Amino acid sequence: MSILTSEIQAALEKQAIELPSWAFGNSGTRFKVFGTPGTPRDPFEKIADAARVHELTGLAPSVALHIPWDKVDDYSALRDHAESLGVTLGTINSNTFQDDEYKFGSLTHEDESIRRRAIDHHLECIDVMDATGSRDLKIWLADGSNYPGQADLRGRQDRLNDSLREIYARLTGEQRLVLEYKFFEPAFYHTDVPDWGTSYAQVATLGERAMVCLDTGHHAPGTNIEFIVMQLLRLGKLGSFDFNSRFYADDDLIVGAADPFQLFRILFEVIRGGGLNNPDVAFMLDQCHNVENKILGQIRSVLNVQEMTARALLVDADALRAAQVAGDVLAANAVLMDAFYTDVRPALAEWREGRGLPADPMKAQLESGHQARIEAERVGGTQAGWGA
Per CB under 8 A, contacts with its own copies among 273-292 are 273, 290-292
Q: Which of residues 248-267 bind its own copies (CB under 8 A)?
A: 248-249, 251, 253-254, 257-262, 265
Question: Which part of the chain contacts its own copies (CB under 8 A), choosing from 70-78, 170-178, 269-277, 374-382?
Answer: 269-277
Helices and strands of the chain, counted as H and E runs: 14, 10
Backbone dihedral angles phi then psi of residue 312, each to the nearest 5 degrees:
-65, -30
CA 55, 57, 59, 63 dihedral sign is negative
Binding mask 187-226 for its own copies (x = CB under 8 A): -xxx---xxxxx-xx-----------------xxxxxx-x
To the nearest whole angstrom, how small is the minimum distance from the Cβ of residue 144 to its own copies? 10
Q: Which of residues 230-249 bind its own copies (CB under 8 A)?
A: 230-231, 233-235, 246-249
Nearer to its own copies, 44 or 189 (CB): 189
Binding mask 341-360 for its own copies (x = CB under 8 A): xxx-x---------------
Q: Specify burial of residue 95 (Cβ count, 10 A radius: 0-12, 13-18, 19+).
A: buried
Q: Which of 269, 302, 314, 383 touches its own copies (CB under 8 A)?
A: 269
Q: Specify burial of residue 259 (Cβ count, 10 A radius: 0-12, 13-18, 19+).
A: middle
Find all residues with CB under 8 Å of 290, minimum gap 6, and list them: 27, 28, 29, 33, 34
Q: Which of 227, 353, 367, 381 touches its own copies (CB under 8 A)?
A: 227
Find all residues with CB under 8 Å of 259, minimum gap 6, and list them: 245
* 369 touching its own copies, by CB under 8 A: no
Q: Which of residues 103-132 bind its own copies (CB under 8 A)?
A: 103-104, 110
Question: Which part of the chain contacts its own copies (CB under 8 A), choosing from 32-40, 66-74, 84-92, 371-379?
Answer: 32-40
Summarize the chain as % helix, strand, coil (round to 5).
45, 15, 40
Q: Which of residues 10-29 bind its own copies (CB under 8 A)?
A: 27-29
To the nearest whole angstrom, how small is the minimum distance from the Cβ of residue 294 to its own copies? 10
Q: Are 226 and 261 in contact (CB under 8 A)?
A: no
The neighbour count for residue 205, using CB atoms within 10 Å, is 11
